[in-house]
């Protein structure tokens, strides 16, 4: 294939822009995967589970406290009733029975009040834990929102960059002869590179220096001959930097 040297040089700009498009695509994919966002989300999920469990413990403790308070109120009411009855008791047997029951009720009331105090102390600790977990969850949710906003903003910015690069690519591709462009696209699809600058005897696409026989073959080629790199299979673009 023949192509004017200036047309072949356009392929270097095309390759650079294609590299930019690929790089932008990778960055968009990385942003959309959101590894850091996913990690924060996992932490938030774990804290949310802890918060749910801790909240359940608080609710259980509050129900138990309410039951104890109800029991205490019942015992207190019975004590007040027995005190009244004792004041009006007329027999030794009734007095003894009431006094014995009141001793039991006072013991029961003391036990209930001790248990209530212990439960209230535990409830304070549980409520503090719920508050701490709630604060941690609020912080993590805010961090997630910030990361999500940064992801969306970054993705939108990169999408704009890609559109600009693709517009520039289309403009340059429109200046390349159809057969040369078709060859470029084919080689790029197959091997990853469509064009490679030969610089100082080194093909930049592969990073490999051409051997003596390959260099001799390139030197023997006419300036408008389209030559392929023996290593990368990209179109080998020759300039004054090629060292031929």
Full-model pTM: 0.68
Mean local confidence (pLDDT), 157-165: 96
Secondary structure of 85-131 in HEC code, one letter for each residue: HHHCCCCHHHHHHHHHHHHHHHHHHHHHHHHHHHHHHHHHHHHHHHH
Token readout for 208 is 């490999």
Distance CA 210, CA 94 (A): 119
Mean local confidence (pLDDT), 111-133: 96
Helix (H), strand (E) at residue 200: none
- Provide the sign of the torsion angle of the four alpha carbons 201, 207, 210, 214, taken in this order: negative
Residue 94 pLDDT class (50, 70, 90 cuts): confident
Token readout for 81 is 């009733």
Residue with tokens 């040297």: 5
Neighbouring-strand partners of residue 156: none
CA-based radius of gyration for the chain: 42
Distance CA 127, CA 55 (A): 8
Distance CA 21, CA 89 (A): 100
Range ranked top by mean pLDDT from 100-104, 193-197, 239-243: 193-197
Evaluate if residue 175 carries a pLDDT over 90. Answer: yes
Contact 37/148 with Cβ under 8 angstroms? yes
pLDDT at site 72:
95
Mean local confidence (pLDDT), 233-244: 89
Neighbouring-strand partners of residue 235: 195, 228
Evaluate if residue 49 carries a pLDDT over 80. Answer: yes
Evaluate if residue 223 carries a pLDDT over 80. Answer: yes
Q: Is 192 left (phi over 0), alpha (psi -120 to 50) or beta?
A: left
Evaluate if residue 243 carries a pLDDT over 80. Answer: no
């Amino acid at each position: 294939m023949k192509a004017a040297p200036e047309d072949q040089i356009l392929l270097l700009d095309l390759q650079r822009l294609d590299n930019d498009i690929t790089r932008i695509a990778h960055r968009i994919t990385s942003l959309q995967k959101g590894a850091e966002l996913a990690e924060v989300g996992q932490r938030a999920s774990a804290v949310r589970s802890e918060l749910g469990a801790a909240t359940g413990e608080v609710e259980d403790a509050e129900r138990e406290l309410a039951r104890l308070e109800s029991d205490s109120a019942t015992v207190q009411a019975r004590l007040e009733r027995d005190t009244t009855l004792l004041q009006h008791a007329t027999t030794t047997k009734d007095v003894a029975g009431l006094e014995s029951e009141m001793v039991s009720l006072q013991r029961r009331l003391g036990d209930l009040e001790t248990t209530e105090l212990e439960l209230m102390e535990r409830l304070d600790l549980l409520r503090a834990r719920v508050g701490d977990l709630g604060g941690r969850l609020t912080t993590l949710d805010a961090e997630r929102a910030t990361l999500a906003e940064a992801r969306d903003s970054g993705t939108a910015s990169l999408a704009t960059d890609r559109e600009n690069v693709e517009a520039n690519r289309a403009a340059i591709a429109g200046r390349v002869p159809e057969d040369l462009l078709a060859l470029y696209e084919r080689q790029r699809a197959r091997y990853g590179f469509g064009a490679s600058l030969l610089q100082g005897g080194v093909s930049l696409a592969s990073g490999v220096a051409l051997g003596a026989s390959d260099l001799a073959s390139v030197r023997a080629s006419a300036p408008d001959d389209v030559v392929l790199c023996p290593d990368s299979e990209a179109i080998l673009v020759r300039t004054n930097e090629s060292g031929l």
